[in-house]
Each structure stands twice: as structure tokens, then as C-alpha cells.
Chains A and B, each alone.
Chain A
Amino acid sequence: KNEVEQSPQNLTAQEGEFITINCSYSVGISALHWLQQHPGGGIVSLFMLSSGKKKHGRLIATINIQEKHSSLHITASHPRDSAVYICAVRSGETSGSRLTFGEGTQLTVNP
């Protein structure tokens, strides 16, 4: 069993739908990151969470430390949101601590 599990692996939605991607982890963490990988391959950091909830535009990320679970929500989805969304956890406190990544969720938003 992977230390970081994402669901679903693939998700297809219609433009305008509310989307949720889930991430569960099995190790103690100091932070959780959500990343977006564009169809061209570039990776962008969306959020870093250690507790609670963060919002940026139409994206909302939440984390429940006790349940070892995080969700990424996209409101009013748009075709440009089509990408792979990756959850990653950091288990140490220092900036040298390594990240462990989930396999990613492929999101396709149709017009």
C-alpha cells in the first residue's frame, strides 16, 4: 500500500461542475502539498497545508490531520482546469525533508 493514496485516479466532469479530489496518507506529516501538472508536463505548486483550509480563486484545499485526509475542491470547473492533480506529503520539519507523492488524479473538464 502506498503511503499516499489519491482518488479517483481519473475524473471527467462537465464545465461548471463542482469537483473533489481526495488524498489519504498513512504517515505522520508536517505538511501536505497539492500540485498541478499541465498537459505539457510542467508542475505548479497550488497549496501547502498543515491544518485547516486554504482558498485561492476557485480552488479550495482542506486537511484533517486526525483522519490523515485532504481534499482539493474546484468550484465552477472550466476546461482549462484539465490537468493532473498531485498530492504530496512532507514528513520532516526542515526544508530538506523529502516529499512523498501520490500517483495523481487525471481531471478532464469538457465544455
Chain B
Amino acid sequence: RKEVEQDPGPFNVPEGATVAFNCTYSNSASQSFFWYRQDCRKEPKLLMSVYSSGNEDGRFTAQLNRASQYISLLIRDSKLSDSATYLCVRLTGGGNKLTFGTGTQLKVEL
């Protein structure tokens, strides 16, 4: 089983829709998680950190469910510019190594 698993998608949604992605992890001792965003042929960029009970940043909300070992990313009022691949990432190796999921592709359409 992979350390971090994501549905690859693609998720095709209309502009203005709300969309949610889940990511499951296998190591129950994992403490820190992040969502990174990667545009086509670009580098990954940090979108949000997810600590303990999760957090919210504008239209984006990240939640951590330790009992079920998953994290989620909710995007409200989707914009065309939100189209990208969203990477679920776990911090390991004593806090210095990132373990990536394969990513979930989002396409926001008119």
C-alpha cells in the first residue's frame, strides 16, 4: 500500500462549483500534512498546511481526520484558475522529507 493515496481524477467541474478531494495515508503516526498545487509542466507550490484539526484560507479548507487517516481539501466557488493538479503531501523523515501522492487533477470549466 502506498504511503499517500489519492484519486487521480480528473475532476471536471463547472465554474462556481464546490469540489472536494480526499487523500488517505497509511502511517498512523504521521503528524504533518500539506496540500501542494502543481500546474502543467510547472513546479509544485505549497497551497496549504494541514495541522491537527485543519485550517481555512479563503475559498480553500483543509481537514484532517486522524481516526480514519485521511485529509481533505475543499474548494468553494471554483475558478478557472483553480485548474491544476493537487498533491497530497506527508512530512516524514524527522520532519525533513516530503512524501507525495500521485495528485488529483482538477479541471474547472465554463
A and B co-occur in one complex: no
